[in-house]
Chain A
């Protein structure tokens, strides 16, 4: 399956196999739920069907990846490289876990409506497009497909004000961000006459960066900044995560972020590799403020979900440190860290979702007191997740953090890694109290945690995630090699003039 002609219909269809398969499956699910949407079981059915769809898309990604498909010449519209597949794999993993964690959650919280799972699928489809986009237009389409589905999901709990507020806030700010992005695309198009990332890179390489293209780049960065929730574009994140159904908060913190980061890295490395002098300081500043603010504000949070929201902002800052490097190593680190972070964060949100009381959305740190003595498994799993977020050796998070540091240090950058480890230190101040609350404080009442129930689907998702955190934390060779290799293929088909200079 080599040298696909991306201008022929067949070629494009093959190149878009995961997206095509998923879209087709979405139609199937849509038909099924149009016909059956009244009973509780229908919601479960939609969930399981959606899971099958994610699996099929996964198979399609594997086919492309193992088949080694490559574009003939410049990749039009869609990328065919390991970086896309790596990001796709993370996104599909996130989607599958989200569905598994949601199955019982929507039932328990009385959010029953089979469309829930369909929307997750649609968002996933958008993420796949976003991560694979080789053209600004495809990128924007993917972003919108993803965002619109997630707007609806954020407000899915229609009986609660906070959920409606979350949806509206996310929608308004998201639309704002999309406008920035679109304007940026337009300016870059104006400056280069191209929408294809590789072509833009070629055009920009031949002459110094024009003001128009520079402005476009800046607007693009702002747009992406909103989507990955980098400071100062993060304001929406805590409220939205807090108001959205918990598994969706996890989905947003991981899937949306992964897709947006994948697209950001691709845009910067393929379209603007010659403009590092312009975007590196901006990314560095974003990383600094994001790490510092995310971590310090997280310290003040009483609600575990809000704490995780701010911590996810801080983690976006860590990823930006590797984005700053602008190298293959950096892209590999981004890829790996997104994997590590997604697995860990999703598992944490999954555990929280099961701990939540019916009808209530907040879990305070104090609510977790003595969880270990009643539900040792859940307490242990959450502790492991938090330690992984903290970047403790023996967990996936440590390997990821180490990789990020290596990416920055390899470019002679020491300030960002040092700020990053200081941020990590601060983060110990809010991860540890949660662990201490669960293990070291007595249970408030005997009944406190009795009603915590894990459905077996959620249990399986969390168990797999925790196993991954520990196993890959000790033997990370497999994912590390994959991440590095996938980053090496980034921009395959790009003329050597561009890739050779770094």
Chain B
């Protein structure tokens, strides 16, 4: 397989193809007749997915640096280039994104019943933007992709969303836009500061990283600008208020895309840009204290608020705030374990929360309500749906043997040395997580079947099983055998830790030294 892929020059064109295929697909969808739009989108999505699989073979897990690199001058006078590449930090986000595509189309099959061409076209455009964020290695290009995907998401929420959709879409847009605008100024300033001292004005990631020392005098506000953009996206605790609205009102595909990819762009941004560029400031005791406090607050707060939500979709939405707190904690702990754990949580949360949103969407299609109180005893009429939901919920809670456990465990293990108290507090969330999800499951699926409307709920059909089964299988597989993922992310995590380590003030548990042996 590898030999074949090498022979067709896979490494050279794959990223370009992944970015271009959705756009071509978008044009095809717009031109196709109305009833064929979803079929066209599905074919494009499947094609993209199959093509992207080769990355698993070609990717060399032992190389810490970028692979699949392509670099073409774009605006040469201004040091902007089309510069893309992949490494251990981004490979699984790209794969997650491409493998999700067919499921998204399939999951929207009947739910989207008007303006279908527009919907699938935007869904594909969104994909290009998301993939672009993870592969762009030029900050100008990165910023373009980062902002570009706002537009499709804005329309997907605003046109095909439920009830309060216009409010949610505008809030989503303005929140995320406000974060990223300051990042634009910071990017321009960085390039200028570095350029003035080295004589080369370049937006290339590695060039700026190599000269990150020059940025040190300006680090506080540059970091703040970046951190704000990423913190809104994650979302870190006080910046999270857009998320329940956006998640709650978006159509299923939108919620899933938000949960699986969009939120991860924030944590990816911290790992890739904010901390490596300004490690001394970002990991200084004061900033660390603030971030860790916010992360732990988010973990606990998300879980507690989740517990009292009457709307099933909002339960899942708030649980994201909680899960992503773990990622932030792991990133700031900066041990190989915690960083790998953070990446694992990113992937695991993508799978389980994505699946939960799909399942909630399926419930909604049947009953046109998402209020927990309207349900009860659904397991009796729809056992498959109940089983799938339960497995997914267990994965989300972090039951050993399923995917959620691996990442959260690694984060807690890796962070304990650095932040013992914060980690201890964060650990308690496992109880809350069990509480809010199990309680929700109980009220939706297992209480007596009191409401006669629930008696007619159909069980999962073949199309829906085709969406759910791959996700559940991936959860189980990741939980039992995470090695393939850990192996491919290790070099990048190690690289990140080496970069961060010198800037960490020795804390109470600085002896977390030989981290790798623990695994």
Q: Is B240 an interface residue (CB 8 A)?
A: no
A79 to chain B, nearest CB (A): 24
Within residues 438 to 476 of chain A, which ones have a CB less than 8 A from any CB in chain B?
A: 439-441, 476
A394 touches B148 (CB 8 A): yes
Asked if B188 and A392 sit within 8 Å, CB to CB, the answer is no
Contact B77 A432 (CB under 8 A): no
Given known pairs A392-B151, A393-B147, A477-B77, the reply for A440 and B189 (CB within 8 Å) is no
Asked if B170 is at the interface (CB within 8 A of a chain A CB), the reply is yes
Given A425-B181, A428-B173, A432-B170, also A439-B158 (CB < 8 A): yes
Count residues of chain A with CB under 8 A from any CB of chain B: 30
Q: Is A417 an interface residue (CB 8 A)?
A: yes
* Residue A13 interfacial (CB < 8 Å): no
Distance A387 CA – B178 CA, assembled complex (angstroms): 15
Pick from A50-58, A178-186, A403-411 the stretch touching chain B: A403-411
Count A-B contacts at CB 8 Å.
Answer: 76
Interface size on B, residues (CB 8 A): 31
B438 at the interface (CB under 8 A from A): no
Whether B185 and A421, one on each chain, are in contact in the complex, defined by CB atoms closer than 8 angstroms, is yes
CB-based contact A436/B169 at 8 Å: yes
**B182 touching A421 by the CB < 8 A rule?**
yes
Mostly, the B contact residues are helix
Q: How far is the CA of A421 from the CA of B143 in the complex (A)?
A: 14
Inside 8 A of A393's CB, which chain B residues have their CB? 143-145, 147-148
**Does A480 lie within 8 Å of B77, measured CB to CB?**
yes
Smallest beta-carbon distance B217→chain A, Å? 12
Minimal beta-carbon separation of A299 from chain B (angstroms): 12
A2 to B184, CA, bound (A): 43
A480 touches B151 (CB 8 A): no
> What A residues does B185 contact at CB under 8 A?
405, 409, 414, 417-418, 421
Given contacts A392-B151, A414-B185, A414-B189, contact A425 B144 (CB under 8 A): no
Partner of A425, one of B74, B78, B177, B192: B177
Q: For residue A429, which residue of chain B has the nearest CB? A: B174
Closest to A411 in B: B192
Chain A positions within 8 Å of B166 at CB level = 436, 440-441
Contact residues of B between 113 and 161, Cβ < 8 Å to A: 143-145, 147-148, 151, 154-155, 158-159
Task: List chain A residues, Cβ under 8 A from B174.
Answer: 425, 428-429, 432
A398 to B181, CA, bound (A): 11
Within 8 Å of chain B (Cβ to Cβ): is A196? Answer: no
Q: Is B488 an interface residue (CB 8 A)?
A: no
Chain B, residue nearest A481 (CB): B77
Interface string of B225-243 (1 = CB under 8 A from A): 0000000000000000000
Docked Cα-Cα span, A414 to B178, in Å, equals 17
Smallest CB gap from B195: residue in A: A410
Across-interface contacts of B173 in A (CB, < 8 A): 428, 432
- With known contacts A440-B158, A440-B159, A405–B78 Cβ distance under 8 A: no
The reply on A424 being an interface residue by CB < 8 A is yes
Is A402 in contact with chain B by the CB < 8 A criterion?
yes
Smallest CB separation, A10 vs chain B (Å): 37
Task: Answer whether residue A230 sits at the interface, using C-beta atoms and an 8 A cutoff.
Answer: no
A392-B151, A440-B158, A440-B165 given; A417·B188 CB < 8 A: yes
- Residues on A lying within 8 angstroms of B by beta carbon are 387, 392-394, 398, 402, 405-406, 409-410, 414, 417-418, 421-422, 424-425, 428-429, 432-433, 436, 439-441, 476-477, 480-481, 484
**What are 26 A-to-B residue pairs whose CB atoms are below 8 Å?**
A387-B151, A392-B148, A392-B151, A393-B144, A393-B145, A393-B147, A402-B188, A405-B185, A405-B188, A406-B78, A409-B185, A410-B192, A421-B181, A425-B181, A428-B173, A429-B174, A432-B170, A432-B173, A436-B166, A439-B155, A440-B155, A440-B169, A477-B76, A480-B75, A480-B77, A481-B77
**B interface residues, Cβ below 8 angstroms from A:** 74-78, 143-145, 147-148, 151, 154-155, 158-159, 165-166, 169-170, 173-174, 177-178, 181-182, 184-185, 188-189, 192, 221
- The list of the 4 closest CB pairs from A to B, nearest first, reads A421-B181, A393-B144, A440-B158, A393-B147
